[in-house]
Structure 1
Amino acid sequence: MKYFIYLIVFIAMNSCHSIKDDYSGYIYIDKVPLANAKVIEANSKNYSFTDKKGYFNLKRANKEFVSKIIIQEGKNTDTIYLAQKEGAGGKMNFLFLSEKLDTLDLNRERMFKKQSSE
């Protein structure tokens, strides 16, 4: 009985941190919404575009794996790793996969530096 209660508590705790079936949120560049940028799920054929507010919604190709996303604006490209850990030994969070809509603010200089170093 004791193990059954632990199992129920474990399931309840994990269900509170569910991961969505799609990536969604806002992308800004230098604090301005990034409109009409192509958002691509890495290692898949899935892509979407941001609207005039910088919002995008992209279905996940594989629900068992959290991929990185690639953002293309004209000739500029940036790769965003979605897994983020909260400090040493902290829990893992995933950008654009929680019920709360995330906002990512890119820096145009960072995108250009990344391009020139590749």
Structure 2
Amino acid sequence: MSITDARVIDFWGIPKQEPNVELVITDHLEWGGKAQQGEHLLLLQEKINTYIAFIESGEIYTEIPGALGKHPIIRVLGLYELPEQAEFFIDRVTETLEEVGIGFEFELKADEDIRNV
């Protein structure tokens, strides 16, 4: 499971002591040049759209025990630092999702950290 499988929720969790349910996207791909960045952003956008549909359809509540009443957060665990174009994209997604009550975060993870998720 990863960013390359757009139709799958990679991981989810409900942190103790927090009113959230976290849906995690694992992104192990390098960003490369401009063309590769565009392809990477499309993969990320497709994956994010799957997560949004999962939340907005209510499927989150039937598939994740305990999600009802929790604030959904989509968290991207990235292996590589974001280039400028991707930072802009992440900022726009964060703003847009915040308006509809969905949290969104990008977290840069070390290589060994992302493999242990």
TM-score category, normalised to shorter length: under 0.3
TM-score, with length taken from structure 2: 0.28
Looking at secondary structure, tell me which structure has more strand per residue. 1
After TM superposition, the score normalised by the length of structure 1 is 0.28
From the CA coordinates, give the structure whose radius of gyration is larger. 1
Q: Which structure dedicates a bigger proportion of its chain to helix?
A: 2
